[in-house]
Amino acid sequence: MTLPPVTRFAPSPTGFLHLGHVVSALHARASAGKDGRFLVRIEDIDTARCTSAFTNALGEDLQWLGLWPQEPVRQQSRHLADYAHVLTELRNRELLYPCFCTRADIAAASTSYAPDGSIVYPGTCLRGDLSISGRVPAWRLNMQRALDELQEVPSWYEVGQGRISGRADEFGDVVLARRDTGVSYHLCVTHDDAQQGVNCVTRGRDLYDATSIHRVLQCLMKWPEPHYRHHALIKDEGGQKLSKRNGVEGIRTLRAAGWTAEQVLAHPLVLRALAES
């Protein structure tokens, strides 16, 4: 029997809600349909950038737009002990190792790039070439050991496309615990999707490649495999991606200018992004 879809909108409160967020929320709610569940999750593990003011504003704007769910909202900063438990298990299975390299160290030593454009870690600390006394380490997944344990590079199911071949072997040893926060996006998002019963991950096309990493974690931890639906990003008239850094309009700005919630949901940029997905 096919289970009703469970989707989620998972913003990070590093600024005020903007039209790109609205596109993601509408996609997730539409994917849930009439019989499914639409969840909101606050991904606020970056304590340096995420603030309570932005979190509160995000909730107010989503309620004004009619995009606040009936179910409780999960806030990642309240579940750090859960993520620490997963990290401990992976360490005990010798799938993690400490890394003392700075970004400059990595940039100087690596010439390879992952599918998402990030620099592939060259394995300096895995070989034991660097250990800095007093420096807090990050913790990296030993990707080759993980894939050897799984005996495959996991694929995923993309709605509308079918099975997609994973490329986790091209990412190298990704960070699962940053030295500043003690956790990472990859770890928290896969853990929470499993805990919340999310069976259809609806998110922006910019996270398409990261799915390869997430599938490895799901398989290692024996978490359920969701389906994925990666939607088009909001763009300007010239086809360039818009973000809060380069001028995408904020919901609070539109509200102050007299826009209604219905007008914001039908904004031309929102409708264009929805039509392109």
pLDDT per position as a tens digit, 58-72: 999 999 999 999 899
Which pLDDT value is given to residue 112?
95
Q: Tokens for 271?
A: 């409708």
Element (H, E) at 265: helix 261-265
Is the pLDDT at 129 greater than 80, yes or no?
A: no
Kindly tell me if the per-residue pLDDT of 73 is higher than 60: yes
- Looking up tokens 């394995």 gives 123
Higher pLDDT, 252 or 129: 252
Give the 3-state secondary structure percentages of the chain, helix then strand then coil, rounded to 5: 40, 15, 45
| Residue 62 token pair | 């989503």
The yes-or-no verdict on residue 1 having pLDDT over 80 is no
C-alpha 203/C-alpha 233 separation (Å) is 9
Q: Is the pLDDT of residue 75 over 80?
A: yes
List, in order, residues 6 or more apart from 103 with CB less than 8 Å away. Answer: none
Map tokens 């805990």 to a residue.
195
Instruction: Please give the pLDDT value at position 66.
Output: 96
Give residue for tokens 């995420």.
50
Nearest Cα to 255, choosing from 28, 24, 57, 38? 57
pLDDT at 130 over 80: no
Distance CA 26, CA 253 (A): 20
> Cα separation of 124 and 184, whole Å?
20
Share of the chain above pLDDT 70, in %: 94
What is the pLDDT at residue 70?
86
246 against 41, higher pLDDT: 41
Residue pLDDT, tens place only, 85-109: 999 999 999 999 999 999 999 999 9
Q: What pTM was estimated for this model as a whole? A: 0.93
Rounded Cα distance, 156 and 213, in Å? 11
Flag whether pLDDT at 39 surpasses 80. yes
Q: What is the pLDDT of residues 225-241, one digit of tens each?
A: 999 999 999 876 666 66
The contacts of residue 28 (CB under 8 Å, 6+ apart) are 7, 8, 9, 38, 202, 203
What is the structure's pLDDT at 212?
A: 98
The pLDDT value recorded for residue 241 is: 67
With CA atoms as reference, report the closest residue to 148 among 169, 132, 164: 169
Between 258 and 245, residue with greater pLDDT: 258
User: How high is the mean pLDDT of the chain?
Assistant: 93
Contact 42, 11 (CB under 8 A): yes
Calculate mean pLDDT across residues 12-31: 95
| CA-based torsion, 98, 104, 108, 114: positive or negative | positive
